Amino acid sequence: MSKVRLPDNSELIFDNQYISQAIDKLADKLNQQLHDEEPVILCVMQGGLIFSGHIIPRLQCMLEIDYIHATRYDNKTTGGEMAWKAYPVTPLKDRTVLILDDILDEGKTLQSIIQYCETQGATNILSAVLLKKNHNRCVSSKLTENIALTVEDKYVFGFGMDYDGKYRQLDSIYALKDKMID
């Protein structure tokens, strides 16, 4: 099997072992929050897929798994209008919902998904992200306190996050050294 060739201007930010340890800590925190709950887990496609696949087996509550596909990026490097591609089929009314996503950047996608869950009658909405970018452009500082890792304001990819639709399968997280944030 050939190794994936990374862009020349990329640098390793978090290796797989470091990510795994951070997910362990986050799972412990979520297990405390979800004690005695039976949540619906919503994986935010496509970026949240790898993160969800790693954290869900660490959760110790009974749960149901579904997904939601809402995106502002659609395999591009800049965000645009929100595109709703798929809604969960599991009813959310009177349920606890845990939203799992890859990255919290400006928070517009996560905020929209939370609002969607509210309109569907979810009684308790939690969210967790693999990465949070360290800047002050987020729409709200209250979207989630469940964050595995914090990263500088760089363009990151790997572990579910893409660069031009590629590199999601990488088991570590990389950043572009000279990519300006849009």
CATH of the domain at 82: 3.40.50.2020
Mean pLDDT of the chain: 91
Q: What integer pLDDT is reported at residue 114 of this predicted model?
A: 96
Q: Specify the pLDDT at position 81.
A: 80
Domain count, the chain: 1
Q: Is the pLDDT of residue 182 over 60?
A: no
- Domain ranges, residue 108: 10-176
| pTM of the shown model | 0.91
More confident residue, 179 or 26: 26
Residue 36 within a domain: yes
Q: What is the DSSP string of the chain?
A: -PPPPPPTTEEEEE-HHHHHHHHHHHHHHHHHHTTT--PEEEEETTTHHHHHHHHGGG--S--EEEEEEEESSTTSSS--S-EEEE--SS--TT-EEEEEEEEESS-HHHHHHHHHHHHTT-SEEEEEEEEEE-SS--S-TTS-S-EEEEE-SS-EEBTTB-BTTB-TT-SSEEEESSPPP-
Residue 96 in domain: yes
Give the model confidence (pLDDT) of 79-125 as tens digits: 668 889 999 999 999 999 999 999 999 889 999 999 999 999 999 99
pLDDT, residue 1, reads: 40
